[in-house]
Structure 1
Amino acid sequence: MKRLFLAVMFAAPAMVSFAASAQTAAPAKDPFTQGDAAAGATKAAVCAACHGAGGNSAMPEWPNLAGQGSTYIVSQLKAFKSGARKNAIMMGQAAALSDADMADIAAYLTAQKVRPGLASKDAVAVAEPLYRGGDASRGLPACSGCHGPRGAGNPAAGYPRIGAQHATYTATQLTAYKSGERGATGTGQMMQAVAAKLTDAEIQALASYVNGLQ
């Protein structure tokens, strides 16, 4: 699990140009962070080694960042920089970033187009009722309440996009919330409470299901 966390959000040791392979024209300023997407294309170059051209990761252990909410990206970078979220690589990467750098990187990534995923048929039967309606008997809220019916998240509120996210990555994060390894601060505490009530089978099903949301 620790290996998977080495690239939980943005980790990458090598410089690979995002700008040369940008998939979507980006607006000049992000409406939530006021970051400059053009500047962010250059600043985000290091992310491509793990997270792929345009923020679409080829490796299921490393998350897609294309289309991720800019406020969420900034919040995670700040958490890595402060040490509130633990990860050796990301703490080092974020340490050198100013608030403006974070906003610019977020503006670039949120403007990119995410590639659609695919849910397994077996996962849908288990996960869709939980995602859409939760489970009142266990005090489980519907995932769609924060993450939206298509998994697009809520950029203004800082709830992340989970639609089309790699199933492997999503399952790892839910397991980390369930164990308490992730989510000690902020909205992460909400996710700890939710994940604690999920079975391992439900986590796997939900991870597959959200991969197919688009």
Structure 2
Amino acid sequence: MNRVFVKSLLVATLAVSGLVCAAQQPPASGAAAPAVIKADVAKGGTLYDAGDAARGLPACVSCHGAAGNSTIAANPKLAGQIESYTYKQLVEFTGPDRNHPLMTTYAKMLTDAEKKNIAAYLGTQQQKPGAARNKDTLELGKKIYRGGIADKGVAACASCHGANGGGLPSQYPRLAGQHQDYTVAQLVNFRAGGRKNSAQMTTLSKRLSDDEMKAVADYIAGLK
């Protein structure tokens, strides 16, 4: 075989091999990473306010109030809630650990992007403050929230949810200003096993009496 032809074939083979190897290599250090699609606050606000009639999806505003400021004590205020927490709850409503006759149905109708958009919208809204109502239990509620109940093994709520109830992004929700009735209902639900998406809250709620739950929920409602 002609030596010149063999040499040319070898060079071509090596060149092709080099191209394949280069394609398989990870991006060089400093190379731009693939763009992450961000949540769309505007789309989230539109879906929150108007729903989607074509899919039979009602507007969130009908239960949770304008800009997430619910005026119905049984329905939580969502304004100013940590974005990642709201998204997490919408996802968990579709699973076995958090079931609700309405929210489970509606959450399953939302795409993942829509869940993120709604969560992003609510996270940008300003919550209207609440207020404690029972002065006779205010000190007890404050004691539980800030210091826990040592002899019952109840940790201070503030240790996870913050001194002012602002929560901790990606881990613990904002509690400040929340409706008393809603907070008590969630504590009872954790205790009874109806809500299973927090092992910590399931354990702690079982150590609280009804009166202690009401006292700490009332105190939380007045946090800002």
- TM-score, normalised to structure 2, is 0.76
Q: Given the alignment of the two structures, is residue 42 of structure 1 paired with residue 46 of structure 2, yes or no?
A: yes
| 2-structure distance, mates of 1:117, 1:123 | 16
RMSD value over aligned CA atoms? 1.4
Q: Given the alignment of the two structures, is residue 212 of structure 1 paired with residue 222 of structure 2, yes or no?
A: yes
Please tell me whether the aligned partners of residues 44 and 117 of structure 2 are also in contact (alpha carbons under 8 angstroms): yes
Q: Alpha-carbon deviations, 1:39-90, whole Å to 9, x = none?
A: 1101212110011001001111111000111111111111112343111211
Of the three residues 97, 107, 112, the one matched with 2:125 is 112
Of the three residues 189, 194, 197, the one matched with 2:199 is 189
Q: Given the alignment of the two structures, is residue 149 of structure 1 paired with residue 159 of structure 2, yes or no?
A: no
Which letter maps to 2:153?
Answer: G
Which letter maps to 1:135?
Answer: I
The unaligned stretches of length 5 or more in structure 1 are 1-32
Change (3 A) 1:168 1:93: same
Which letter maps to 1:139?
Answer: G
Q: How does 1:130-209 map to 2 (within 5 A)?
A: 130-157=144-171, 159-182=172-195, 184-185=196-197, 188-209=198-219
Which letter maps to 2:77?
Answer: N
Q: How does 1:68-147 map to 2 (within 5 A)?
A: 68-119=81-132, 120-147=134-161
| 1-structure distance, mates of 2:218, 2:66 | 23
Deviation, structure 1 residue 156: 3.1
Aligned-residue identity in percent: 40
The 4+ residue runs of structure 1 with deviation greater than 3 A are none
Q: Alpha-carbon deviations, 1:94-131, whole Å to 9, x = none?
A: 11211111110000001111111111322211111111
**Secondary structure of the residue that 1:81 maps to in structure 2?**
coil
| 2-structure distance, mates of 1:207, 1:95 | 30
| 1-structure distance, mates of 2:96, 2:192 | 19
Count of matched residue pairs: 178
**Secondary structure of the residue that 1:82 maps to in structure 2?**
coil
Which letter maps to 2:46?
Answer: T
| 2-structure distance, mates of 1:85, 1:173 | 11
| 1-structure distance, mates of 2:184, 2:169 | 22
Please tell me whether the aligned partners of residues 83 and 91 of structure 1 are also in contact (alpha carbons under 8 angstroms): no
Please tell me whether the aligned partners of residues 174 and 203 of structure 1 are also in contact (alpha carbons under 8 angstroms): yes
Change (3 A) 1:180 1:82: closer
| 1-structure distance, mates of 2:73, 2:173 | 18
Deviation, structure 1 residue 181: 1.5
